[in-house]
Amino acid sequence: MPLSPSHLPGNRQPTGFKATPAFTCILQRRRLQSVQSTSRKSLSINYRRSVTVFDCGTSTQSLSALPQQGVWTPVALNRTMPLLPFRSQLIADVGISFGDEGKGRLIPELVHELAASSAPVSVVLKVNGGANSGHTAGGQKFNLLPCGIVTPEVPHLCVGAGVVADPRKFLWEGLEKERKGFPVFRRLLIDERTMVSDLTHRLLDLAWEDYRVNVLRSEARGATGRGITPAYLEEVGQSQICYADFLAPKDCFAQKMRQRADRAVRTIQHVCQVTVDTWHGLFEKLGAAELRANTEAIDAGVFPREEFNFVEFRGEAPFTLNVERLIEVYWNAGQKLVPQIGEVRELILRELRAGRTVVGEFGQAYWLDKRHGFSPNVTASHTYSPEFFESAGIPLQPIHTFGVAKAYDTKVGTHTFLTQMDEGHPLTVKLKKLEFGSTTGRQRMVGWFDAVEKGDALRYGGFQDVMINKADALTHEGDWKGELQICIAYEDTNGRRYYHVPRNEALRKTLRPVYTRHAGWAEDISHVRHFGELPKNAQRYVGAMMRTLIECAYQGETWPQTLPNLRYLGVGPEPSQIIKDVPPTAELVKLG
């Protein structure tokens, strides 16, 4: 799509603008701030971060002259290309794999990109999930709070109605971040309809895992012990407690908590059928987990160790709780958060009317959605863009979806993992040193890039922009010197190929991946900041990832005129290790 004055921030036509043919072939990547000068052969553009000069020739056809295969060589290195504008003031930050894609680091990038525009980010909204969605941003790890905490210029950090949240977890995470200098509570707004999760849900989470293993004799699912699924079950069972209940009289809250505790212990004893020893051990297990998670805060004196004593909630007899202590602790935690409880929907509508941008931070990913994923290896919430509107409580309207993936795949739990690498593969050994869950510390399984899964996320979920992380992790090192592989289809025993993920899990488990092979590279790319400076094979592999996911999405069909745009390419964990001048998708796919 040619860049025109209507695509500039605020739809303002700069003084002296002339839509020359040279202008239409600009590589559209960063929002323009002002056009300094134009000519028939070159265009100089002043960006927030740099001045870029492109030799575009005299025709809009100049881009088609780029090589069908080969490498991307910009006219001059060390120069950035403008980024395409977003199509909406609402941006959804979503995963397009099975989670752990690096969605957290996208938040500060979006904030910084839009900071000098006419629509800066003023709200980061946590959309779904709870303390099970570990994100990392700005070198900080988060479980429950939005990653926008690391960007102090964002005035509002919101938690939507689609979230289940333990009030104590807000305090544990928030106070620790404030100790590090990040303003949290003066920016935090928890929606009145955000659901309260508590100790009973965490006990149920562990009890159901015990039931699967010791009663059903099934494989352990790998529950996080954060109580997410049991908390969402309260919602569909019409028994939820919301943060608005902290604004009501204590007696109302206490009655609901007594009923909740009674349901929980009866379920644990009679349905989950845990033993007495297991019952006693649940409290120690939860306490040990929180002590590990909060070691830094304890050592810094933010909390005493006794803060994480879960045994105090255990009753004197088996399968009983100290309900009065449970009520007191959770009521007090909720009262500390009363100034932060309010109407997120009104704040977001106000910010949209003022012309500002709202970013929705999603937990998990498309393939972990409770409806579109494969049970039991799903989460308990909706994990893709439509949930933005339910959680925020605002009308449906255009939204810009930003899909995040890695340059390879990872999964945890008992997922069917068709592209999983052999345990002894040299790349497996290398990647497993990097792949541990931010929330649970669980070791992740690693596999080759699955374009089929990501193609379906594009076809059925939709996204306009893409961020691919950890390309640097694929660099040859030590014993790893081989070719990379991309899964472009699945195949059954009769040779039939599937270019979309079968919704029948029994069928899916019988399939094998079909791969294309791609040469690797030995050069360290962690210091590279411009696409044209990447090794040739790295450029080709990036192009192949984009081409194959689009081919899978539209197999047998004509590609749509508008293709998803690879906006950011991660080449390391640090905020600075991102390439932002990736060629337009129509040209990028020719490289692979």
Q: For the ranges 434-448, 467-481, 540-554, which has the lowest average pLDDT?
A: 434-448
Q: What are phi and psi of 363, to 5 degrees?
A: -95, 160
CATH of domain 90-177+343-591: 3.90.170.10
Q: Tell me what pLDDT residue 8 has.
A: 28
Residue 391 has pLDDT above 50, yes or no: yes
pLDDT tens-place string over residues 37-52:
333 222 222 223 332 3
State how far the alpha carbon of 305 is from the alpha carbons of 131, 309, 440, 466, in Å.
20, 7, 20, 42
Looking at residue 568, what is its pLDDT? 97
User: What integer is the mean pLDDT of 267-283?
Assistant: 97
Q: What is the mean pLDDT of residues 398-403?
A: 98
Residue showing tokens 């008992």: 414
Q: What percent of the chain has pLDDT over 70?
A: 85
Q: Which residues pair with 135 in a beta bridge?
A: 142
For residue range 332-346, what is the model confidence (pLDDT) as tens digits? 999 999 999 999 999
Given a cut of 80, is residue 562 above it in pLDDT? yes
Q: Is the pLDDT of residue 21 over 70?
A: no
Residue 462 pairs in a beta bridge with none
- Helices (H) and strands (E) counted in the chain, each on its own, are 16, 23
The Cα–Cα gap between 531 and 73 comes to 8
Sort strands 90-95 and 51-55 into parallel, antiparallel or unpaired. unpaired
Of the chain, the end-to-end C-alpha distance in Å amounts to: 22
How high is the pLDDT of residue 437? Answer: 65
**Which run of H or E residues covers position 342?**
strand 341-342
Q: What is the DSSP letter of 427?
A: H
Looking at residue 1, its pLDDT comes to 34
Q: At what angle do helices 323-336 and 167-179 cross, to 10 degrees?
A: 50
Averaged pLDDT of the chain: 87
Beta bridge mates, 486: 449, 516
What is the phi/psi pair of residue 12, to 5°?
A: -95, 130
In eight-state DSSP terms, residue 194 is P
The predicted pLDDT at position 16 comes to 34
CA distances from 4 to 13, 206, 262, 510 (A): 9, 56, 63, 50
Q: Which of 320, 302, 190, 202 is nearest to 247 (CA)?
A: 190
| Residues 571, 578: Cα–Cα separation, whole Å | 6
Distance CA 199, CA 308 (A): 11
pLDDT digits (tens, 9 = 90+) for 207-261: 999 999 999 999 888 777 899 999 999 999 999 999 999 999 999 999 999 999 9
pLDDT at 47: 28
Q: What's the confidence (pLDDT) of residue 440?
A: 61
pLDDT band at 179 (very low <50, low <70, confident <90, very high): very high
d(CA 325, CA 323): 5
